[in-house]
Amino acid sequence: MRVDDTDDLALQDRREVLSRLFYTRKELSEIPVTAKAMTSFITVDEGISIGCRFYPTKKETATIFYFHGNSEIASDYDYVAPLYNEINVNIFVADYRG
């Protein structure tokens, strides 16, 4: 595959390359009783959005913005987020565009 100067996508942003590098999952799990979470979707392009979860504890405390690794989705943090909340830290987890 050859990319020329007129192409607006870098090689690593091409769908055929990304599909071989990253395993994507589309589903969000149900929020367990232990997690206080707000699910949202951010539109990144026409017809394309990424899933996010915000696990708040206190408005006036620090917030971690976490962009997770490959083959994970935001809802995988439903069981970890309460640990951050216990130490009074909000956490916002965002998916990558896949």
Are 24 and 98 in contact by the 8 Å Cβ rule? The answer is yes
Q: Which two tokens stand for residue 11?
A: 């090689």
Confidence of residue 70 (pLDDT cuts 50, 70, 90): low
Check residues 10 and 93 and name the one with the higher pLDDT. 93
- Amino acid of residue 83: L
Q: What is the mean pLDDT of the chain?
A: 77
Q: Which two tokens stand for residue 68?
A: 């997770």
* CA–CA distance, 91 with 87 (Å, rounded to integer): 11
- Region 25-50: mean pLDDT is 74
- Region 17-35: mean pLDDT is 59
- Region 17-37: mean pLDDT is 61
- Region 10-30: mean pLDDT is 64
* CA–CA distance, 56 with 48 (Å, rounded to integer): 26
Cβ neighbours of 77 (radius 10 Å): 21
pLDDT of residue 85: 93
